[in-house]
Homo-oligomer: A and B are copies of this chain.
Amino acid sequence: MKNPKLPTLTDILEAHQRIKDIINCTPVHTSRSLNHALQSQLFFKCENFQRVGAFKFRGASNKLERLITEIRPDIVATHSSGNHAAALALAAKEKHLGCQVVMPENSPPVKIEAVRGYGAEITFCKPTLVARETTLKEIVEKTHAVFVHPYNDFDIIAGQGTAALELLEEVPELNCIIAPVGGGGLLSGTSIVARSLKPGIQIFGAEPAGADDAFRSIKAGKIIPSINPNTIADGLLTSLGDLTFNCITRYADDILRVSETSILEAMKYLYERMKLVIEPSGCVPLAAVMEYPQKFKSLKTGIILSGGNIDFSSLSSFLG
């Protein structure tokens, strides 16, 4: 596999300058009771309070700013199960661009509503990567939209890295950081920033055992896509791309896999003790700390709570 050009700390610092007046600088929360229970010090970067309710607005904003400077597109397009779509839709709306979105027909209603609310045009497809890509290709051919990949993109990765940048600026004493990994955009950006600013820091990706393509890919030294991934973490069903695979291979230490039970337990904890609404995908890093407490004992660990887009009514399915 040839090595693609990866973003550097400088790219992420530039991305932050580009987008800092558009995004929310999200707060960092802590919990005494959780620190006590896990004998650890956890610092939660609350991207559920980011615009559109997820970190994805960082990458989409950075990408759009770059595109507008370079090629001034009329329409942008993407495929996404939700958060990237909502992020691109809002970023496009604010720049008065059109936005075409291909969404799997089983996307959470709250995410579909959000994309529609930001004025994007939605085309539904079967919930497979092939269906997404085929449908998107048709849309792009028809509308001449510029495709914005949800994660395997230089500017998207640089944008997502700004969350960890802010976290490390606020809590420079971190000696460990964890991000969820689906397509790998967030973990890539996080890894570049963290390794550059603190070479000795431990960097983990966390993913559901039922969608563990990142774990298997990194172990195998090549991309092994997920076949029929199965998890409540609907934002982590995608597989790594060549850029994210290379970033993670080069900069991250390990991928931790967690059970569905742990994800739910983490979600309940974040809900009841920290009063935070976090979607299942965003609960995966805390689930990793709960499953592997020895790894994090006495460390200062940063956790990126990646998003909070979950239907109030769909909660009933988690309350078994």
Q: Which residues of A contact B (CB under 8 A)?
A: 27, 29, 33, 48-49, 53, 110, 117, 267-268, 271-273, 275-278, 308, 310-313, 315-316, 319
Interface contact A268-B312, CB-CB below 8 Å: yes
Structural contact, A313 and B308, CB atoms closer than 8 A: no
Task: Please tell me if the beta carbons of A312 and B272 are within 8 angstroms of each other in the complex.
Answer: yes
Q: For the complex, what is the distance from the CA of A297 to the CA of B278, rounded to whole Å?
A: 31
Alpha-carbon distance between A276 and B49 when the two chains are bound, in angstroms: 9
Number of copies: 2
Contacting pair A308 B275 (CB below 8 A): yes
How far apart sit A272 and B275, CA to CA, in the bound complex (Å)?
13
Interchain CA distance A268-B278 in the complex, whole Å: 14
Residue in B closest to A279 when the chains form the complex, CB atoms: B275
Pick from B27, B117, B268, B316: contact of A316, CB below 8 A. B316
CA gap between A310 and B308 in the complex, in Å = 18
Closest 4 CB pairs of A and B: A275-B308, A275-B277, A48-B275, A268-B312
A311 to B275 alpha-carbon distance, docked (Å): 11
Closest to A315 in B: B315
B312 contacts A275, CB within 8 Å?
A: no
Contact A53 B312 (CB under 8 A): no
Residues of B within 8 A of A312 (CB): 267-268, 271-272, 319
Docked CA distance A103–B276 (Å): 27
Q: Which residues of B contact A268 (CB under 8 A)?
A: 312
A271 to B275, CA, bound (A): 10
Option from B29, B110, B267, B272 in Cβ contact (under 8 Å) with A49 = B29
A319 and B308 contacting across the interface, CB-CB below 8 Å: no
From A29, A268, A315, name the one whose CB has the most chain B CB atoms within 10 angstroms.
A315
CB distance from A137 to the nearest CB of B (A): 33
* Residues A272 and B110 in contact, CB atoms below 8 Å apart: yes
Residues from chain B with Cβ under 8 Å of A267 in the complex: 312
Residues of B within 8 A of A272 (CB): 110, 277, 310-312
